[in-house]
Amino acid sequence: MTEVEKLIPHRPPFLFVDEIVSHEGDVLVAKRTWRAEEDFYQGHYPGAPITPGVLLCESVFQTGALLMAKLMSGAGGQSAASTGSGQGVPLLTKVTDVRFRLPVYPGDTTTIEVRRKETLGDFHFMTGTMKNGEKRVLNLEFSVAWKKPEGQVTS
């Protein structure tokens, strides 16, 4: 099990972060290589595939979930949900100011940076950017609340 899989519940084929590059305070940096064999490329511009923007955003949100898991668990490295303290998951509550600048193609490796800007009560306000090399792919603002979803089935 990878560090990413230990921290968040997402699993393939809906896991869009490969590794954590660094974590310092309220900033986490991760990477994702977009593989040509992934199913969504078959139907998203067949013959000239590009990565769907909604999946690029999801990659940023999952990076935010990794940051929140680390922050909620302290320095221990396990997710708060797995340790029994602060049971829950970061639920997306708002997305604003999404700006797509460049497409991402199969085979590209992107770097994702998420920064927590502010916390008000249960809500954590974040900003995220994605780059392909030195070129910015997208930036967005979003917020999450750390909660146990009602009706959530846990194993």
Among all residues, which ones are annotated catalytic?
Answer: 44
Going by C-alpha positions, the residue among 119, 10, 29, 96 that lies closest to residue 67 is 29
Alpha helix locations (H) across the chain? 3-7, 40-43, 53-73, 80-83
Contacts of 141 by beta carbon, 8 Å cutoff, 6+ apart: 95, 96, 97, 125, 126, 127, 128
Tokens of 67: 């940051």
